[in-house]
A = this chain, B = another copy of it.
Amino acid sequence: MLKLFHAWGSCSLASLITLEEAGADYELVTMSTKAGDQRTSEYLAVNPKGRVPALVTERGVLTETPAILAFVAQTFPAAKLAPLGDPFAFARAQAFNSYLCSTVHVAHAHRHRGYRWADDPAALAEMTRKVPEVEAACFQLIEDDMLAGPWVLGEAYSICDPYLFTLAGWLEGDGIDIARFPKVLAHSERMRSRQAVRKVLAEMAV
């Protein structure tokens, strides 16, 4: 059985929603990144990067959200979570998710995790200050050029949607009004109407 190491508030929400969408049988291990659960020797043996998500499969551990999402889509093809038979369309999905992990998530991380790239408190404060500007620019690009609508890739829901929903959920906390991006806002509302998302968000509220 699959086992997902997950933390509320982290990007692992995208993997959790996708496992639900796939109808996968999985065990959920909820961790607290604030408590430092991801730094324990026990967890580092699972994922030496000390990050979530990690998906334990019968063949080994997978990390990195774009890889986990594509794996779930490929392993549960009946759920139709990615355009698996079309290399170009699949690459567009991968490009979207790659942008989220390499640019949008990184923009957000400079708010509270600037220590990854600087030690000086003044530099950390400067990074935090600039986050709303940098992250809003990312979402403006998504709004203008990347979100086809109604779902990210167009008519078909895909593994891009829970990932965008997850990162869009960070906007308010980062001081950015999601209403500046009407398509992103409508997308998030559309996501909340899905059964899999409702189930996961209900678990979060417990």
Contact of A171 with B by CB under 8 A? no
Q: What 0/1 readout, one digit per residue, does chain A (114-133) give for beta carbons within 8 Å of chain B?
A: 00111110110011001000
Measured in the bound complex, the distance between the Cα atoms of B117 and A118 in whole Å is 11
Measured in the bound complex, the distance between the Cα atoms of B72 and A187 in whole Å is 31
Q: What 0/1 readout, one digit per residue, does chain A (23-67) give for beta carbons within 8 Å of chain B?
A: 000000000000000000000000011000000010110111111
Measured in the bound complex, the distance between the Cα atoms of B59 and A145 in whole Å is 16
Q: Residue on B with the closest CB to A130?
A: B118
Question: Which A residues from 113 to 158 make CB contacts under 8 A with B?
Answer: 116-120, 122-123, 126-127, 130, 134, 141, 144-145
User: Could you say how many copies of this chain the assembly holds?
Assistant: 2
Partner of A123, one of B49, B122, B144: B122
Contact of A8 with B by CB under 8 A? no
B102 touches A88 (CB 8 A): no
B122 touches A64 (CB 8 A): no
Measured in the bound complex, the distance between the Cα atoms of B110 and A49 in whole Å is 20
Q: Which of A120, A134, A145 has the most CB of B within 10 A?
A: A120
Interface-lining segment among A91-99, A175-183, A192-200: A91-99
**Mostly helix, strand, loop or mixed at chain A's interface?**
helix
On whether A118 and B127 interact (CB within 8 A), knowing A48-B145, A71-B88, A95-B67, the answer reads yes
B48 touches A95 (CB 8 A): no
**Chain B nearest CB, measured from A2 CB (Å):** 11
Q: Residue on B with the closest CB to A58?
A: B88
A92 touches B62 (CB 8 A): yes
Contact of A68 with B by CB under 8 A? yes
On chain B, the residues within 8 Å of A102 by CB distance are: 64, 98, 101-102, 105-106
Contact of A90 with B by CB under 8 A? yes
Q: Which of A48, A59, A95 has the most CB of B within 10 A?
A: A95
Q: Which 10 pairs between the two chains have the least Cβ-Cβ distance?
A: A67-B95, A71-B91, A64-B98, A67-B94, A74-B87, A123-B126, A123-B123, A64-B95, A101-B102, A102-B102
